Amino acid sequence: MAKKEFIGISSEYDRLRIARVQVIKGGIKLMGVETLDMPYPIVKFSEGTSDPKGLATEFDDFFEVDTKSKDTLDDFPELTGEDDTSSKPKSPVSSSLDDNFDMTRVDEDSDVVTDNEKLIADYLKKIGRKKLHIGLHIPFGKTTFQFVKNVDPDKMRKSERIDFFNEKLRPIHNEDPEPDHYSWTKAADNACLIAYNRNDTSLINLFEVAETYYKGKLMINERLPDESIWAGLVRANYNLAPDDITGIIAIGETSSRIMFMKGSEILNILPIIPDGENSVDILNTIFSKILFEIDKGELPKLNRVLIARSAKFSEKVKPYFEKQFDEIEVDYLTLHPQRVTYADDILDSPVYLQPYLSAIGAAWAASRLNEKEFSQLVLLPEYLREKQRSLKIAWHGIIILILIALTPLFINNMYLSKSAELQQLEQQVRITENQIEELRPIATMTEDLVADYQVIQAEIDRLLELARYSQKWSEVLTSLNDGISQIPQLWLTSLRTSDEHINLTGISLTREQIPVLARLFTDANIQQVSETELREQPVYTFAMQANNYRQDIEEFLLDMPQVEFDFEQGTVIELDFTYAPEPAEIRERELVAGGNRAANNTPVFEQQQVVQEDSDPEPRGSEEEITTADNEAERIAGIQETRNTVSPEETVPPALPRFGLRGPEDEIFIGAYTIVLHSIPDSSRAAAEYQMLKDEGYKATLWQAEIEEGQLNWRIGVGLFQEIPDAVNAVSELPEPYRDNHFIVRIR
């Protein structure tokens, strides 16, 4: 990446002097100097001619010198052209100065653009940078200077300082000065130097218009009077003792300037001299003014004289003043070789670089290197400062900066507190890690035990799942066997299960026996009955489906003792292996017993959320399939008498309850058969039906049964019967609505 370049520009009537510098370690590097001739004048006069104090001719009256006389330089024939050396050929340096260094001269007959602004824009484009930093000068004589002794504006408030400057500048310029028009700095001998420039903005205007033709951005960093630039160059390139008096001489085309420095401070700036290189007596005039200052006592001594600008007198000025001041150092204002280096194509000669000193100083000031030496009398308008200021800090910006400054203190305080807290936590972590290491063997053993426990528990869960409904076939086949054993001349040919249904097919010698088989189940449908012959005897084949055969079968849930291990305390909770009936079983027994005891009182039932099913079971079969209850009872009773053996399950226990359809009964016999007349989910209605049957003299039974998973119904049955045929025979004694709308079930 190319280093940043800074461009300094000075103006002379219709030409620009340009210097380009780069900041390097220990100083600057002069990259190039050029002269750019303008097609039109930049300003009407490049050098000032005003003399606001009227002191330009004061020394003439004092010394009675005629500045127009040519006889005063007889001792210096070289100034009048009478020296023999005048006929000698000029040196290359002198020739180059006489040619005005026209490196980029524009001929009148060329087709190059004629506008000053476009010419500058084209030149800047050749530099090839998107952003250029520029320093401008104010030609000497355009700025008026005023010294005020024993005043320090820094100690004044802002309003007092403005009033002070207005008071000093108003009488001279006949108007209240704008803040952009003046600047001030501390001068030697505890004085204040005020610089005022109002009308010379032509160079700024020129570059502002040129920027519109230039695609990049122009940053005008500094704008200084020539007098301030020369003083800055002296400070930056010479070692000045505090009491050294340095005189600076500048000779222009139409005017000249003399100024003095004491140490590094400006001591005095004499009024502009209205004569320049066009006057052959200008050197005598300058010498007389210096003597006048010495005679007035303003200069206690003079240590050196530096020539900042001499125009066509470059080779004559130094010998003249060396002869006049034989004990004083006289030299051109020279750039110090340790602080300024040069590009290869630049001639390191004070005479060659003298016309570019203002441009070099402006570029040096724009780089902000040695800022204290240069930027003491800046006259850059405020609108340019605001325009080019990338970061504008208002009051809130200052507050933010203060907060930013306080942030490290806050962060440091927070860091210390968090560091102490972190140390405590680290100590706790170390203690905890030690405890973990001590308990790690126990934890490992515990993990092994837990793993074994989980394996055993999984096996137990699998066994319990397999044991559920393990008695299904035992219960179903027992019920089916008990029922079929009471129905003669009926055989089953097949038995299949599908989900919750049992499909039965068989053969019966009589049609009337088939509905009796269907009543063995809570919900059974006779799907088909057909007559055929078997061994030349008429028989009836049938197909039947028993729906939801599990509703009367209790789940086989093994009461496994649960081992409860406290993993935190490491203790085993003792198990209780004594049998405890399930709450549902206790509730069913209490309901059944309570229903029988409440002969004259209406029982109170808990309200439960159940799924509603059909209020009453449908009648089994058609009229053709069902015989009268009397004939069926007689036939079954006859069959019962012919039986010779009784199975152990049919043995009547010693303490038998009173069986029958009617009569009071205090306790119900679990395992007896009853005729179910109602199976409904509504507990209130069930209680009412139960009480009504008891009032009619029936042995009424009320209990709750699970029809499906999660669905509970209240069942109301009448009668207690030891065998199914007894219940079948009792059906004929029921009222007409219940004879065909009932089913027989064993109480469980």
Structural domain includes residue 76: no
pLDDT at 741: 83
The region of weakest confidence among 172-181, 461-470, 482-491, 691-700 is: 461-470
The pLDDT-based confidence of 237 (bands split at 50, 70, 90) is very high
- Closest by alpha carbon to 192, among 224, 223, 167, 217? 167
**689 within some domain:** yes
**Selection from 316, 292, 315, 318 nearest residue 307 by Cα:** 318
Q: Which residue has the higher pLDDT, 35 or 387?
A: 35
Residue ending a domain, among 307, 335, 363, is 335
Domain span including residue 512: 472-746
Pairing of strands 501-508, 538-546: antiparallel
Cα distances (angstroms) measured from residue 676 to each of 34, 526, 714: 126, 20, 10
User: pLDDT-derived band of residue 554, with 50, 70 and 90 as boundaries?
Assistant: low
The pLDDT of 324-348, averaged and rounded, is: 92
Q: Could you tell me if 158 and 19 lie in one domain?
A: no
Residue 374 in domain: yes
Going from the C-alpha of 435 to that of each of 401, 431, 523, the distances in angstroms are 51, 6, 67
Cα 294 to Cα 300: distance, rounded to the nearest angstrom: 7
Shared domain check, 205 and 104:
yes
Residue 580 lies in a domain: yes
The model's pLDDT over 443-475, given as tens digits with 9 standing for 90+, comes to: 999 999 999 999 999 998 888 877 766 666 677
pLDDT, greater one: 554 or 434: 434
What's the pTM? Answer: 0.50
In 59-216, which ranges are E strands?
A: 131-138, 144-149, 182-187, 191-196
- What pLDDT is stored for residue 393 in this prediction? 65
pLDDT: is 79 or 16 the higher one? 16
Helix (H) or strand (E) holding 518: helix 513-518
pLDDT band at 412; cut points 50, 70, 90 = very high
Most confident stretch, 366-380, 461-475, 620-634, 696-710: 366-380
Q: Which of 294, 318, 335 is the last residue of a domain?
A: 335
Q: Which of 383, 352, 85, 346 is nearest to 223 (CA)?
A: 383
Amino acid letter for position 135 = G
Q: Is residue 695 part of a domain?
A: yes
Q: What is the pLDDT of residue 216?
A: 87
Q: Which CATH number do you get for residue 366? A: 3.30.420
Same domain as 374, residue 320: no
Band (pLDDT 50/70/90 cuts) for residue 105 is very low
Given 323, 352, 387, which residue is the final one in a domain? 387
Which tens digit of pLDDT belongs to each residue from 727-738? 888 888 888 888
For residue 110, what are its two tokens?
A: 């060329």
583, exposed or middle or buried, with CB in 10 Å at 0-12, 13-18, 19+?
A: exposed
Mean per-residue pLDDT, 227-237 = 95
At 723 the pLDDT is 87
Statement: residue 122 has pLDDT above 70: yes
**Same domain (yes/no): 323, 382:** no
Question: 382 falls in which pLDDT band (50, 70, 90)?
Answer: confident
Res 375: pLDDT: 77
Average pLDDT, the chain: 78
Higher pLDDT among residues 584 and 336, named by residue: 336
Find the range with the poorest average confidence among 10-19, 508-517, 612-621. Answer: 612-621
Q: Which of 67-71, 274-278, 661-665 comes out lowest in average pLDDT?
A: 67-71
> pLDDT band at 200, cuts 50/70/90?
confident
| H helical segments located in 325-394 | 350-353, 357-366, 371-374, 382-388
Residues 192 and 307 in one domain: no
Tell me, what's the pLDDT at 110? 38
pLDDT higher than 50, residue 610: no
DSSP code of residue 274? S
Distance separating alpha carbons of residues 489 and 459, to the nearest angstrom: 48
- Residue with the bigger pLDDT between 520 and 629: it is 520
Q: Please tell me whether residues 307 and 175 are part of one structural domain.
A: no
CATH number of the domain that residue 270 is part of = 3.30.420.60
| Domain presence at residue 213 | yes
Percent of the residues in the chain that have a pLDDT greater than 90, as a whole number = 41
Provide the pLDDT for residue 479: 78
Please answer whether residues 489 and 571 qualify as being in contact, where contact means their C-beta atoms are separated by less than 8 angstroms: no
Residues 684 and 726 occupy one common structural domain: yes
Do 131 and 188 lie in a common domain?
no
> How many domains, in total, are found in the chain?
4
Query: Are the C-beta atoms of 218 and 211 separated by less than 8 Å?
Result: yes
Percentage of the chain surpassing pLDDT 70? Answer: 73
User: Got the DSSP string for 420-442?
Assistant: HHHHHHHHHHHHHHHHHHHHHHH
Higher per-residue confidence, 592 vs 627? 592
Q: Does the residue 270 lie in any domain?
A: yes
pLDDT of residue 391: 60
Confidence of residue 376 (pLDDT cuts 50, 70, 90): confident
153 near 145, Cβ under 8 Å? no
**289 and 358 assigned to the same domain:** no
Q: Is 264 within the bounds of a domain?
A: yes
First to last CA, the chain: 101
Q: Which residues on adjacent β-strands are paired with residue 217?
A: 131
Task: Indicate if 161 and 253 belong to the same structural domain.
Answer: no
Here the tokens at position 204 are 């700024």
Residues 347-372, mean pLDDT to the nearest whole number: 92
pLDDT at 24: 93
Query: Both 187 and 257 in a single domain?
Result: no
d(CA 359, CA 354) in angstroms, rounded, equals 10
The CA distances from residue 483 to 11, 73, 240, 470, 480, in Å, are: 134, 163, 137, 21, 5
Q: What is the mean pLDDT of residues 677-691?
A: 90
Could you tell me the pLDDT band of residue 69, with boundaries at 50, 70 and 90?
A: very low
Confidence band of 485 (pLDDT split at 50, 70, 90)? confident
Least confident range of 10-24, 138-152, 562-576: 562-576
Same domain, 209 and 303: no
